[in-house]
Structure 1
């Protein structure tokens, strides 16, 4: 498609690529983005190593003996809050009620919310199985709208983990139909619930018993599940088992996506190079995966990748532009962001509401309220009632601008018959405006309208309480969640930890996180640890900052610059030298950012002072 468009109008695409590439070249000091240089740089890639396998260089960290709270007979702790042991937590799930929606379950488990420094757009599209970047491994459009609780899906869900194959054998022997649509529907449902282990057993059973004529996307799906369950090394070895005629770019794209989702920088670039070495087509999906990687870890490589895309006639997608817009804005280059928006329109790609909302948010962060408001009016269109889907985005953005009258105006249109998403947006908006009672009113209205609310609905109000340091109200709401049988997952724990931290009870928040991490098989969110690390750093508490930093590495939340910056901040605030910190970063295959270099320069002054005292 991109080649045809270039042939029809080659100059337009070429101009678009050059505008984007020049924007990045100028920002990151790249003065000569020649095609020959770019190809060599892009195809001879090297750099960071997997965040989950870096060498741990840790100074004097020991486990803390945190005192557990005493509980009364009702399960309440001495402070009146329900004890962690008594709250229903999310363990590995064999079976779920039929009325639990897949996407809602995934949201309750904190899926796609692990990275506080990653935009919502990126987080929602960072792996196979997401919307815009998805290489659809199920290739059946009819499957998407079907009921997920099919007989086959129920059989797999109810099967014990160790007996999936035998249960499936009996099911087929009973004369039950096993067509491609049934298989893909079951697989999609298992993956959406993050039951990758059972999904893998199902796919292996299909392949071994030849119950399905495997094509390239079936092999790619199998590889993807192996990577998620057993890791990248075994997934890569599986490629040797794939018939050579089916080793297309789709297979390697599945591996590439898993490298990126696990932040394995070096392996991701190796896989991309493998695609080019095998002369397989380079798709926009592969390029977007590298953009995700470079956006997090190596923004100076983005310009090279864009020029390589131009040479290979790879047309940017809407998601490509979203990534580039967000990257420029996060580098405080609003002019560059606007240039990319113009290039996007020149290329005939219209920004969707999410893109416009992202741009408006960056304007607000940059203090350009006039431009932000103009963008919001553009999102509204001539009649917001006709453009109802924009309301859930507009409410919190107008609140960020401090426009209480605009929030009232839009909520008035929604209030008579709101959707759950609009209610959540309204709670967030009223919370931003400090109108806690209005947020509570929306929540109580939700309880009256819908029979049962999910954890994420309680979490929206819990976050409002946390932001306004309303500890007692937050505890009461958490107990209410438990009493109403809500599943307490990582997102709820994240909100509770923030609640305690903002109320000044940092040690209590730390003890909750440690206990939750020990008791649950679903790991806490990255942001939960960062909330604690940020507070310890502000205190100049090196010991506890190192402790949290070490925990992040233990559970493979590493390879992110933010945690290094916060750890260094602890040393700066303690006015203590961080001996060997550059070596630690080098051992972890991390390269200092400008902010970290500035922090290290400040710490060098402390080092000289300490040495001078010895003279």
Structure 2
């Protein structure tokens, strides 16, 4: 929850500026199609051939923006710096970083284009996105001293924050302070975001105090501070911060009220939550599309079914096409509201029109069947996923593992657990699920199943004392003595504890078993 609040707040930060504005109209739904731009000093370009249109049409990364610009010039068209700045901004907005970087690099070698520090800041940010942090650092180091100013330093700081390099970010902040570059809140907002995302909340109050000594907080600062209070469920501190921002004559945005609503909901302050939610809705528009999904989630947490359906209806009327994130939000919300039938209808709607085949959305329905203990329907739905070309993910296999584990069908559990751990390069261990699996095999005294689970966990590089103890308890329940268990533990670099020694002592008096296949 905290990270989601941070991302919302951080999205409001405008870290860089090309020092030129742009007017952009999108006829699409946020899916990257139907772009209509105004990139000629406010003159409508609808239906006209423009450099902006040509560059924005370079959908595939292998295509060259430089070639498109050269061709435009060869046709006798002028190429103006302010126009290119606007095109770069639009390309960045659509995450077309490679082409945006190519435009910046072309501008840099033109004798008739004079670049400002803000242009270099954008260039640095794009290098970091396309080529990585080390390349961005090299670009900054190679800049002449006169360009190592507030804007380019802030761009480098932004890069360190994105790469979560706390040491370098703090070091750069010190240098910026020495140079007098901390006279506005943006660098502090970057550092706040870094500390919060890293869980270093103890550093937040001191940094905010330092910010207030050097400059004034902006709305992003307050939103980040509110996100911290939300994570701490500190209603009093959140309300105090809200009064402070109002006193500073700052306009709270939808993120502000979304965060406050979340705090009130968690504190069971329903009336206050409904009040801030109304204020939030007043501040959203078609432009701030992500706010609608937040509205749906918050109304869901308030158990307001009618409001959820109302907001969803409004979203469908506003946007030509609903995207995957929004379908995921509404389906998840309806499942939480126990509206499985409606959720399934919307899933079918998404399924019919989806080109992404996003497994995460299908997994919502699969999880719902499993949570409802409808394993037969879950299996049928999994088959439906395959028929529709939806590729199973690690989560898919894990859900099926959990479903069969509830039914104690251990052959199926093992089958899907193997798929879980082999479907990713590095499995993120779920210790609780592993405990449950061994608990069932312990009850059943199924030493063959316990051994096969151990082999699977060894391949997943998740073997420890607790697992070996569970294996030994299974042997105790089966009345059997395991072979070479001490040697196997040494090979797996697993230490014995008091329980291990006790269990080995108990099993040493039992019937000897053969060495299981694949465990030596």
Alignment TM class, shorter chain as reference: 0.5 to 0.7
Tell me, yes or no, if the aligned pair for 2:296 and 2:311 is still in contact at 8 Å: yes
Tell me, yes or no, if the aligned pair for 2:219 and 2:250 is still in contact at 8 Å: yes
- Equivalent position to 2:103, from 180, 194, 202: 202
Structure 2 partner of 1:436:
340
SS at match of 1:119: helix
What is the CA distance between 1:503 and its match in structure 2? Answer: 3.5
Unaligned runs of 5+ in 2: 27-35, 38-50, 371-376, 405-412, 439-452, 470-494, 505-520
Alignment of 1:506-545 (within 5 A): 508=416, 511=419, 515=423, 535=433
- 1:134 aligned onto 2:27: no
What is the CA distance between 1:465 and its match in structure 2? Answer: 3.4
How far apart, in 1, do the equivalents of 2:18 and 2:357 lie? 29
Tell me, yes or no, if the aligned pair for 2:124 and 2:140 is still in contact at 8 Å: yes
Structure 2 partner of 1:395:
296
Unaligned runs of 5+ in 1: 1-116, 518-527, 551-566, 577-604
Tell me, yes or no, if the aligned pair for 1:467 and 1:502 is still in contact at 8 Å: no
Sort the Cα spacing of 1:384 and 1:358 in 2 relative to 1 into closer, same or farther, 3 A.
closer
- Equivalent position to 1:475, from 382, 396, 403: 382
What is the CA distance between 1:227 and its match in structure 2? Answer: 1.9
How far apart, in 2, do the equivalents of 1:324 and 1:443 lie? 37
Q: Deviations over 1:153-204 (max 9, x none)?
A: 157546746x664564444333343223442344234434544344333322
Structure 2 partner of 1:303:
205
- 1:323 aligned onto 2:323: no
Tell me, yes or no, if the aligned pair for 1:152 and 1:186 is still in contact at 8 Å: no
What is the CA distance between 1:324 and its match in structure 2? Answer: 1.4
How far apart, in 1, do the equivalents of 2:189 and 2:430 lie? 32
Q: Deviations over 1:89-138 (max 9, x none)?
A: xxxxxxxxxxxxxxxxxxxxxxxxxxxx6532322454xxxx41122333
Task: Name which structure has the greater RCO, CA cutoff 8 Å, separation 6+.
Answer: 1
Sort the Cα spacing of 1:135 and 1:612 in 2 relative to 1 into closer, same or farther, 3 A.
same
SS at match of 1:141: coil
How far apart, in 2, do the equivalents of 1:385 and 1:252 lie? 33
Alignment of 1:123-202 (within 5 A): 123-124=7-8, 126=10, 131-145=11-25, 147=36, 150-154=52-56, 156-157=58-59, 160=62, 165=66, 168-202=69-103
Alignment of 1:115-514 (within 5 A): 118-124=2-8, 126=10, 131-145=11-25, 147=36, 150-154=52-56, 156-157=58-59, 160=62, 165=66, 168-210=69-111, 212-297=113-198, 298-312=200-214, 314-364=215-265, 366=266, 368-369=267-268, 371-380=269-278, 392-404=293-305, 407=308, 410=310, 414=314, 417=317, 419=319, 420=322, 425-444=329-348, 452-453=353-354, 455=356, 459-460=360-361, 462-469=363-370, 471-472=378-379, 474-475=381-382, 478-479=385-386, 482=389, 493=393, 496=396, 499-500=399-400, 502-503=402-403, 508=416, 511=419
Q: Deviations over 1:218-249 (max 9, x none)?
A: 10111112222333233222223324333221
Q: Deviations over 1:395-437 (max 9, x none)?
A: 33333344446546x4697499475377665433211122211
Tell me, yes or no, if the aligned pair for 1:539 and 1:573 is still in contact at 8 Å: no
Deviates more, 1:438-447 or 1:414-423: 414-423
What is the CA distance between 1:141 and its match in structure 2? Answer: 2.5
How far apart, in 2, do the equivalents of 1:210 and 1:474 lie? 62
What is the CA distance between 1:456 and its match in structure 2? Answer: 8.3
SS at match of 1:134: coil
How far apart, in 2, do the equivalents of 1:299 and 1:530 lie? 25
Structure 1 partner of 2:483:
none
What is the CA distance between 1:345 and its match in structure 2? Answer: 3.3
What is the CA distance between 1:286 and its match in structure 2? Answer: 0.6
Q: Greater CA radius of gyration, 1 or 2?
A: 2
Sort the Cα spacing of 1:539 and 1:123 in 2 relative to 1 into closer, same or farther, 3 A.
farther
SS at match of 1:150: helix
Sort the Cα spacing of 1:387 and 1:282 in 2 relative to 1 into closer, same or farther, 3 A.
closer
Sort the Cα spacing of 1:205 and 1:372 in 2 relative to 1 into closer, same or farther, 3 A.
same
Sort the Cα spacing of 1:236 and 1:453 in 2 relative to 1 into closer, same or farther, 3 A.
same
Tell me, yes or no, if the aligned pair for 1:455 and 1:481 is still in contact at 8 Å: no
How far apart, in 1, do the equivalents of 2:284 and 2:300 lie? 22
SS at match of 2:250: coil
How far apart, in 2, do the equivalents of 1:142 and 1:160 lie? 26
Q: Deviations over 1:54-84 (max 9, x none)?
A: xxxxxxxxxxxxxxxxxxxxxxxxxxxxxxx
Sort the Cα spacing of 1:413 and 1:199 in 2 relative to 1 into closer, same or farther, 3 A.
closer
What is the CA distance between 1:287 and its match in structure 2? Answer: 0.5
How far apart, in 1, do the equivalents of 2:7 and 2:387 lie? 30
Sort the Cα spacing of 1:193 and 1:575 in 2 relative to 1 into closer, same or farther, 3 A.
farther
Sort the Cα spacing of 1:203 and 1:394 in 2 relative to 1 into closer, same or farther, 3 A.
closer
How far apart, in 1, do the equivalents of 2:21 and 2:432 lie? 45
Tell me, yes or no, if the aligned pair for 2:253 and 2:283 is still in contact at 8 Å: no
How far apart, in 1, do the equivalents of 2:93 and 2:427 lie? 26
Q: Deviations over 1:17-44 (max 9, x none)?
A: xxxxxxxxxxxxxxxxxxxxxxxxxxxx
- Per the normalisation by structure 1, the TM-score is 0.56
Tell me, yes or no, if the aligned pair for 1:224 and 1:255 is still in contact at 8 Å: yes
Sort the Cα spacing of 1:350 and 1:498 in 2 relative to 1 into closer, same or farther, 3 A.
farther
Count residues in correspondence.
421
How far apart, in 1, do the equivalents of 2:457 and 2:133 lie? 31
How far apart, in 2, do the equivalents of 1:324 and 1:385 lie? 20
Q: CA RMSD in A?
A: 4.6
- Per the normalisation by structure 2, the TM-score is 0.65
How far apart, in 1, do the equivalents of 2:262 and 2:415 lie? 33
Sort the Cα spacing of 1:537 and 1:287 in 2 relative to 1 into closer, same or farther, 3 A.
farther
